[in-house]
Every structure is written in structure tokens, then in C-alpha cells.
Structure 1
Amino acid sequence: MARSKLTFKQQMDGFPWAQLLAVSLVRFSEPIAFSSLFPYVYFMVKDFHITPDDADVAKYSGYLSSTFAFCQVLSAFHWGKFSESHGRKITLQLGLIGTSISLLILGFSRNFTEAFIARSLMGLLNGNVGVIRTMIGEIATQRKHQALAFSTMPLLFQFGTVMGPLLGGFLVFRNANDNDVVPSWFPLSIKKLIDIYPYCLPNLFLVGLLMLGLVNSTLFLEETHPTYKFRKDYGIETGDFIKKRIFGITPKVRPWNVVPENESDIEHMPDIESQSATEMTPLIDDDDDDSDVESVQSLGHVLTRRESVGLIRTYSLHEPTDIPLESLHLASDGCSENSMRHHLLHTDVFYPISVAFIMSLHLIVYNEFLPVFLAYDLAKDPQDPTKLASKFPWKITGGIGYQPEQTGTLLSTTGIFGCFVVIFIFPIVDRSFDCLTIFRTLVKLYPLIYFMIPYVVFLQNDNVPQWCTIVYLYVITGLKTLCGALSSPQIMLLIHNSSPLHCRAIVNGATISIQSSARFLGPLIMGYIMSWAQKHNVAWVSWWSLSLFCIIALYQSYKIKPIDENDEIETEAITTNTDATGSFTGPSRQILTHRSSLGSLSNKRG
């Protein structure tokens, strides 16, 4: 049988743009809230006067980051259980409210303890990342839509890293009475407020964004829980009224508005949300003469058993090759074949997960501590103030005295570059090279990036033009952004393809927990290392230690088994034809082809 590939138009047919946009508006505000702290965390900790000297600022900055990640590890599982018991939508809404509360506490903190509590609450009261991933999987139910749908997560994070540092850098005024700093058009009441609480303004602005996300989720985000999506949603009905009266958009028929003629019809009621016409639109034409289709007068024809099985095999995350739990045996290591310990420690997935742990550790450390390092005051030689206290190559102390707005501009500009990479460069690279080659190539650049960072201090001599520092920093941050945008999806794909089909959910859940633990340990450990290095005038130690971690990750990557790229893997699937109204007109068989790129994130089938 001849093989054919889906065209772009076929792949995008029926793509759930509206609901993904509603989810994206919720997700977009959260990385902004997370990254807005980076430009001013050094100054906030310094203003709390909790450290005996400036060298210890990095240690306490690490506490603020680590407590967020630690609390997120503790709460993520429970938020997932809550979403299973009460629904996805209410979970997201509570997460937005919890984040808003923590931001208000952070913005109006008068001491380190209050800021520490605020960051802890931000981790405890928000489990939206895992819930949003689940919702995307439940919104994009067709395999052909899933790769694009899930790629919105890193893209939204990149957009968040653009807006967050901008807000944190340009809305912090440490001296509201300084007319050279505070815009003249600010009302006197605002000046008095930020004179008392200099870090409240960016957090108040972020709370406003989160409230917009809350309104959006209430009015336009549909519940995706298999059970609770049939529950009446007054927020959605209000949103439908707005769509119809203001925008002239005819809303879909909601499942709670469908009244079956008798109780037996309830068992056969299809998902009304999949129909774009009316409740009387038939779900599928009765083309199979041998089928045994039971007619339901009020809803049209229902799928036959054969058609239902075909659709489930094509579009469900369940695989026909999945092994039932009762048929599993003990592995050679004495563990059950589906146990987490067996798959994490004694199978091919161990190496990509260990690499993902190291990647998460050094990336969060870079994001958190580059602004701290740049904010350290420039150290001058006490004997000759015209010279630097740092001596090339081993004695490096202090930073370059960057202010929040300078750091915010640096991070935001490179964040824009990251968005460009994800949208335009990544698809080209992904189609041209296999994921393991891409990953190994990019990981080789990280040690060089971290090796270069501390030597920016030596560009602060009076005889070196200021633009050299700007170019130097933009080259470093640009390379890091390029590597992060291209390598992070590849390690996700490597973990996915190294996991056995019957336990990918277990492995993916464990991977999220392991990466969260890295984001907890990284800032905690690096805070101590950077403080020690500053006290002993060896600031290069902290950054070169990250280079060492990257070399370990590179070594581990050569133990990852390459994904088979020989030819394309033929996969027989069942696709559905739709008419102009979006109603199903019948199943048809088609041969799809897959390669080991990000586009093959859906499970391979044997």
C-alpha cells in the first residue's frame, strides 16, 4: 500500500485554536510572575539588611528561589489529585488566586521573612503547570494536533521571560523621592507608596494580569475533565452570551443544554462539544452495511463498535501495544517491570533523565544568579582606585554594578530572540537533524558560555569602551538562549522515546518531580558557592562549576541510545472525514509516517 503524509492543511484541520488560546492566556501570566523577580532580587535582599556583607546576598537570594521549587515539589501532586476530584478549571482558577496573594505579600514585604513566606506560598498555592499539560492533552485529542499544541508551552515561557524582566526592571524604584528616577507623571500617592514599598509596583501590575487571566478562564475556558465537562458552567454561559451579543459569534451547543428523550439515550450520548452544528447533526454517516448501529432519534447515528475501536486506537493516548498490569513480570533486577525504580534506574531512560536533571539544575542557576552576579558592585583596588581589585586570570571579585533596568533589558531582549528561535529556527533544525545530534552539539556550548561569564569584570577598565561589555553580555545570553530553546525540547523527546509504552505516564511524572528537585537544589547550593567565592575573590568557581556539570551531562548524553532514524516508520491509522459543518462523515484508513523529531512526540506504535 502506498504511503502518504498529512499535508499542513490536513494536520491543522479541526485544530482547537479557541481553547488553546484560552489556556495560553492563563499560562502566559505565570512565567511573567516567576521571572519578574530576577532583575531586583539582589537589591531586595540587600535592602532587607539581613546579610553581614554583600557577598552573602547570593546565598539568601538562593533561599528565595529554592523555597519556591521545594514547595512546588510538595504541592504539585496534591494539586493534580485535586484537579481529578474537582475539575481542571477550578484548579487553574485557585492557582491564579494563590499566585496573586503571594505576589501581594512579596511586593509589600518589609523583611526577608515575609518575602520568604511569599515565595513559599507561590509554590504551594499554584500547581497550574502540571494541570495545564493535562488540559492540553485533553483539548488536543487528535494525534496530529498534539505536537503543535504542546509546543505552545515553551513558546509561552519564552514570551514570559521577555515581559517578566521588563516589568521587574523598569517598575522598581528604590528611591521614590529621586526625581531623576521616578517618572514625573507618577501621582504623588504612588510616589509615597513606592517610597515605603519600592518593590510593590511590578507585583501590583502582575496581579492585574493574573486577574485578567482569571476572568478569561471563567468566561471562555471550558472544563476538560472527562466527567466534570458535562457539569453546568455558569461562567461559560456568560461567555457565550458575550460572544453572541457583542461579537456576533454563535456559541456551541453545551452538553448540559441537551435533553435526551429517554434515559436509555444518556448511555449513547456522544460528546456534543465535538459538533459544530446543532445537536441534531449526525456524528457519522452509516456507510458500513455490516455495522450494527443503534439509532438515537434525538442525536443521530452513533459509532459502531468497530469504528469506535479504530478511533480510540488512532486518537487516544492509549496504545494497542500497552501491556496490562496483570501480565507484567519481575525484571532481572528483582523489581516489577512497571515499577518506577526499575525504569528510572535500570533501563535506557535512566541516562536521558539524569541529563534532564543536570540541565534543569544549571539553567535555573543561570537564570537566577546571572542578575545577582551582575548586580554586585564593581570592586576597585584599595591602593589604586583607578584599577580593578580583580587580577587576571584567577582573582575575580565583585560584579559590574548593573541596575535592575539594565538587567531587565538584557534578559528581555534575549527572551525575544528565544521566541524567534522557537518559532522559526527550531522547526528547520528539527526537520534536518536527529534529536540526539542536536542535543549533543548544543550541550558542548554550555561549558564555554559559563566559562566566559566571570571575565566580564575585566571589561570594566577605564580604557575599555562600554559597548564591549554590552556586546560581551549579549553574546553570552544569546548563545544560552539559543541552546536552551533548541535543546530542551530534544531532551523531552529523548525521554519520551526511551520510555516503554506501558509506563510512559509513570516516567513522565517522575521526570517532572526530578526536574523540580533540581530547581530546588541548584539555587540552594549555588547560593552558598557564590557567597563563598565572592568572599575569597574567586568568583569564577561558581560559574566554572556549572561548566563541570555540563561536561557531565555531555558525557551522559553519549550513553543515550540513538533513536532509530533509518527510513520512516509506517503506521496504520484511522482518520475521520468531516463535512463543511465539522460533523463526522465516516472513518477512512490512511498510512501515516513518523520520524524521531519533536513532531513524533505521540507514541510510536508497532
Structure 2
Amino acid sequence: MVHQKLTFKQQMDGFPWAQLMVVSLVRFSEPIAFSSLFPYVYFMVKDFKIAPNDAQVSKYSGYLSSSFALCQVISAYHWGRFSETHGRKITLTCGLIGTSISLLILGFSHNFYQALVARSLMGLLNGNVGVIRTIIGEIATERKHQALAFSTMPLLFQFGAVIGPMIGGFLVFRDGTMNEVPSWFPRCAKKIIKSYPYALPNVVVCIFLMFGLINAILFLEETHPVFKNKRDYGLDLGDSIKKSIFGIQPKRRPWQKYIHGNSEDSHHRDEEINANEVQVHSEDERSPLLDHSNESEAESVQSIDPILTRRQSVSLIRTYSLHEPTDAVHTDIVTASDGCKESSIFHHVFHTKVFYPISVNFIMALHLIVYNEFLPVFLAYDLAVDPENPKKLASKFPWKISGGIGYEPEQTGTLLSTTGIFGCFVVIFIFPVVDRNFDCLTIFRTLVKLYPIMYIMVPYVIFLQGERVPSWCTVTYLYIITGIKTFCGALTSPQIMLLIHNSSPLSCRSVINGATISISASARFIGPLAWGYIMSWSQEHDVAWVSWWSLSLFCMVALYQSYKIAPIDDIEEEDNQQDGENTNGSRSEASGVRMSHRSSLSSLSNQSRTK
């Protein structure tokens, strides 16, 4: 199917800006917490004196990252279940509080093992990434809005990638470095910083997290179909703030119709209820929609099929439904061909069309976390020089590569922050144009091909450290590499999320998102753990290129897997064909289901008109 090209105005028509902005402010603080560690993790591990030599520092840095990811593997699926049982909003608030606690423990750690516990708690107490994906999918129900809505995830990560490394790079004041504690700092603050040089960036990040927490409590609407109509006292307080301080008239909440007001309001509600009853009664008398014996009317209902796709029908149901326990029709429990129940998460993740997007997401998560964690570590290694001639490099082109380029935390923080700004530009200005003109699989497959080139280039920055090479060449070279990575990540991340979202069954989409986060977290556990050993080994044997070239191979596997993913339009066509086959096979049963749905939509639309 040809990708439909929309104008920007058409794509933005009806876009859910308000709630996406609230979700964005909640999500914004977490990438800051995640990326603020990168500039100083090498120096933190080195100061803990746990590594026997500098070459082993990357291995212990990998332990810190892997412990976080391993705990995410354990907890992400359960946080997804928790959000299904108790709601999305309470899950997000618990995650923000848990992250704040773990950051404070990390900042005030005395040794490596305390830092390890802090990073583990950060993974256990936060499952917000999968929950936010589900919220975005429940907010943006129209296909034309979904890609742009899901692009807020990498956009917010890019914003976090701007601020986080700046906080981690410029607020760490270690002895013997270029960073000195400003003279205007209070004496007590200077004393704390001297004892805990890594505490200040974590305290600042906690302030961002508290801002996100307050925003979530006051302004975030529950999107879970079961809980979204229950009274939310935090949202009531937020509505009062909007009205009294900002002069914004809040919309009427679902639970407010049950609150008793004055006699005039009660009389008005009674008139509404009577009008509802009359309208429904008259419709029952005149409308044959519930008459299953009339075959011609059933045919007329079935004639709707070519007009509305399944996804459009679901959007219509979501628009008018006041109580939506699930978007899918309940059916009897059936055993699939793989021996699992069709409703089981194992069947959906490993034996349906969602498997390939999840597997590609696993590989992408693995090599991207390795890059994010170990590029600062690689750059922080001291420059290896020839012992006999200190003016020459110990590395020999092309196979003998050892050491790094001696970057300080503030230099790495500047590099990551400025490329994060470029990523924001890509998501805001380039992504909408690309998304309107190309389908998501084409975008993904094209850009994944650039990752192997980038990883092959990384270790050869060593050879730009000679005396005859200007220093700006190193800066330009690093900005080209990180720019390619940022460009590709900003455009491919929303595409793979959208593919997973649209390939998932509606009835268990939140659970699949939680399982996806667990699987991605397992990649973030395996990646740093394995590459920590690989990088340490390659540094000891003067073959630093091995760790980076191996990432190129993983990118090629992701590219191969992407050609097994079905385009979104093909998924919709397949679903529609299956619906058509089911209709032809059991006309009377399908007619009954459609009749009941039509009746339900009719009555619900009547309710909405009387409000």
C-alpha cells in the first residue's frame, strides 16, 4: 500500500497537545537522571579504587550499568502488570519517587558497592518507560498522530541528553581537575562536595524529578480504561490551580456528574436523564438494529465494513465509550498452534508478528547503551604514548590501538550536550517532514545502515592526537560520529516503537510494552556487562577496535531482522481480511456481535449528545 502523504495541517488536526505536554514534562526528568552519569562514571569508579588498573575501569563501569538493566529486566514486566491493575498515573508517581531515592544513595556513596546498590534500586523502582509508551498509545489513537506522538520519546531523551551530561560534567568537582568549586558556594556546601564530589549532580537531578512528580499529580489524566473515570483529587487540585491562578476554565471531569450540587443543577440533570430515556425508548421502537431475525438489516450493517477499517472502528469506540474495560471483543480461551493460550503474553511476544519488532528493538537497545556508556569511558582513557619516544603514539594504524584521548568530564559533557541539541532539532524539524513522506520501515531500514560506519570510525580518533594534527580535527571527528548516532537514533526510535505498538493486540498492549521494556533491559544488562570485559581485554591487548567493530556486526543483524517486519499498512490489511473471513464463516454470529456493538455505540452517542 502506498504511504499516504499528508500536509502538516492535516497531520496536526485534532492532535492531543495538552496531555502529551503533561506526559512530556513527566518523562523529561528521567533521561536527565539516566544520562547525567555518563561523563563521570569512569572517574567515580576510579576514585572508588575497586579496579586493579586503569584498563579494568571499564569492566566495573559495565557492572554499574548492567545492575541497573538487570533489575529493569526483573521489574519492568511487573510494573506493566501493576499499571494494568492500579492505573498508569500511580505507577508513574511511584517510579519518580523510586528514582529520586536511588539517585541520592548514588550521590552519597562511599564505595563501589553502595553505588551498585543504588543503581540496582534505580532499575527496580522505576518502570515508567513502558507505562509512558502505553499512555501515549492511549492518548494518540489516530494513525496520523501516532508517529509524531511517539517521537516525543526520543525528543525528550535528546533534551535529557542535553541537560543531563551538562549536570554530570560541570557539577562534579574532583581534586586535581580543571573544575573548582565556585567561591560563592556556602562553606557547608563546599564541605559536603569535598567529601562527596558526585552528590551535587544527583541532588540537582532529584529537583527535576520532583518537578515532574508534582506535574504528574496535578495535571496528568489517567488513561487506563477502567480507572480513567474514577475521581482524582490531584487532578481536582490541578483544575483549581488552572482556574484560580492561570484563568483557564478546566473541562468537566467524568466523576463531577455524580457530585451533588444545588437544586437547579439537580433538576437539570433530571431533565437530561428523562431526555435520555425518551430518546433511547423511541430509538428502540423505530430502529431494527437489535432485530436479529431481519437478515436484510444485518446485511446493511455489514455493508459498513468497506468504509471503516478495524483501527478506525476502534478509534470510534474509544471516542464515545465512557467505560472501556478492553478494546478487544472477549472470546473463549483458545490454544494457539505453539501450544500456548492465545491470550498469554508468551504467545504474543514470541509467536506473533510483534516478535520481529521486539527483537530488533533488543539489538538496538544493546548497541546504543554500549555506545552511550562506553564512549565517555573510551575517551577518558589516558593517551598511550611510545615509551621510547613520548612524542609518538603507542598505537599503530590500523590494527594496534590502545588508550584513549584523556578527555575530562566537562569535555565529554559538552560533547554529549551539544549533540543532544542537534537531536532536538532533528526530532522537531526533520522528523515530521520525513514521517509525512516515507513509511516508518523505509526510514528505519535506511538509517540503520549508518550505524556500522559510525562504530568503525570510533577507535581511529586516537590517530588524530599527533602533534602535527590540529586539535580541532579531533573535535570535528567526534562531532561527526556522535552527530550520526544522534540523527539515526532520533529518527529510528519512534519508528520501532510505533511498529511494536501497532503490531501488539489491543487487549494486552500495556503488558507487551512492559515485556518489551524487560527485553530491552536485558539487552542493556548484557551489553555493558559483555562489552565491559571486551573493552578491558581489547585495551590490555592493544586492539581497542575490536569492541567497536563488534557493535557493527550487531547492527547488521538488526538490519537483517528489519526486513522480516510487516509494514503497518499490511498489518491493518491482514486484520481486515481476517475479520472478513470470520464474517463469511459465521454470518449470524458476526452479525450479532456487530448488532450489539452498533447498539452500544448508538446508546453511548445518545448519552454524549445529552451532556
Superposed pair shares fold, TM > 0.5: yes
Change (3 A) 1:562 1:227: closer
Question: Which moved further from structure 2: 392-401 or 246-255?
Answer: 246-255
CA distance in 2, matches of 1:402, 1:524: 23
Q: Determine if contact 1:285/1:584 at 8 Å carries over to the other structure.
A: no
Q: How does 1:581-600 map to 2 (within 5 A)?
A: none
Segments of 5+ residues of structure 2 without an aligned counterpart are 262-267, 287-300, 305-309, 577-597, 599-606
Q: Within the alignment, does 1:135 sit opposite 2:135 as a pair?
A: yes
Q: Within the alignment, does 1:480 sit opposite 2:482 as a pair?
A: no
Aligned to 2:44: 44
Deviation at 1:338, TM superposition (A): 5.2
CA distance in 1, matches of 2:122, 2:499: 31
Q: Determine if contact 1:434/1:565 at 8 Å carries over to the other structure.
A: no
Aligned to 1:183: 182
Report the 3-state secondary structure (helix = DSSP H, G, I; strand = E; otherwise coil) of the residue aligned with 1:396: coil
Deviation at 1:254, TM superposition (A): 3.6
Letter in 2 for 1:488: S
CA distance in 2, matches of 1:21, 1:545: 39
Q: Within the alignment, does 1:291 sit opposite 2:283 as a pair?
A: yes
Deviations 1:120-170 (A, max 9, x none): 111111122222233334444566654443332222112111111111111
CA distance in 2, matches of 1:567, 1:257: 38
Q: Within the alignment, does 1:326 sit opposite 2:332 as a pair?
A: yes
CA distance in 1, matches of 2:275, 2:474: 63
Change (3 A) 1:123 1:282: farther
Q: How does 1:335-414 map to 2 (within 5 A)?
A: 335-336=340-341, 339-414=344-419
Deviations 1:296-330 (A, max 9, x none): xxxxxxxxxx99x9975625399999675427454
CA distance in 2, matches of 1:568, 1:139: 23
Deviation at 1:514, TM superposition (A): 1.7
Aligned to 2:450: 445
Change (3 A) 1:330 1:180: closer
Aligned to 1:58: 58
Aligned to 2:198: 199
CA distance in 1, matches of 2:285, 2:35: 55
CA distance in 2, matches of 1:186, 1:162: 24
CA distance in 2, matches of 1:257, 1:380: 73
Q: Determine if contact 2:11/2:144 at 8 Å carries over to the other structure.
A: yes
CA distance in 1, matches of 2:430, 2:452: 22
Q: Within the alignment, does 1:515 sit opposite 2:520 as a pair?
A: yes
Segments of 5+ residues of structure 1 without an aligned counterpart are 263-268, 271-278, 295-305, 575-582, 587-606
CA distance in 2, matches of 1:283, 1:116: 64
Aligned to 1:595: none
Deviation at 1:231, TM superposition (A): 4.2
Question: Which moved further from structure 2: 344-353 or 157-166?
Answer: 344-353
CA distance in 2, matches of 1:178, 1:537: 27
Deviation at 1:484, TM superposition (A): 1.3
Report the 3-state secondary structure (helix = DSSP H, G, I; strand = E; otherwise coil) of the residue aligned with 1:521: helix
Report the 3-state secondary structure (helix = DSSP H, G, I; strand = E; otherwise coil) of the residue aligned with 1:252: coil
- How many residues get paired? 547
CA distance in 2, matches of 1:195, 1:480: 36
CA distance in 2, matches of 1:204, 1:480: 29
Aligned to 2:126: 126
Q: Determine if contact 1:283/1:585 at 8 Å carries over to the other structure.
A: no
Deviation at 1:285, TM superposition (A): 14
CA distance in 1, matches of 2:10, 2:280: 24
Deviation at 1:502, TM superposition (A): 7.3
Change (3 A) 1:284 1:470: farther
Query: 1 or 2, which has the higher strand percentage?
Result: 1
Aligned to 2:210: 211
Q: Within the alignment, does 1:253 sit opposite 2:259 as a pair?
A: no
Q: Within the alignment, does 1:532 sit opposite 2:531 as a pair?
A: no
Aligned to 1:548: 553
The alignment's C-alpha RMSD in Å is: 4.0
Aligned to 2:316: 314
Change (3 A) 1:473 1:248: same
Q: How does 1:100-119 map to 2 (within 5 A)?
A: 100-119=100-119
Aligned to 1:456: 461
Deviations 1:161-204 (A, max 9, x none): 111111111111112x9796333333333222211111111111
CA distance in 2, matches of 1:283, 1:451: 71
CA distance in 2, matches of 1:334, 1:504: 21
CA distance in 2, matches of 1:445, 1:179: 36
CA distance in 1, matches of 2:348, 2:554: 24
Aligned to 1:600: none
Q: Determine if contact 1:142/1:315 at 8 Å carries over to the other structure.
A: no
TM-score between the two structures when normalised by the length of structure 2 = 0.79
Report the 3-state secondary structure (helix = DSSP H, G, I; strand = E; otherwise coil) of the residue aligned with 2:151: helix
Aligned to 2:31: 31
Change (3 A) 1:287 1:479: farther
TM-score between the two structures when normalised by the length of structure 1 = 0.80
Deviation at 1:335, TM superposition (A): 4.8
Deviation at 1:206, TM superposition (A): 0.8
Change (3 A) 1:282 1:34: farther
What is the percent sequence identity of the aligned residues? 69
Q: Determine if contact 1:141/1:315 at 8 Å carries over to the other structure.
A: no
Q: Determine if contact 1:381/1:388 at 8 Å carries over to the other structure.
A: yes
Return the structure number with greater relative CO, CA threshold 8 A, min gap 6.
2
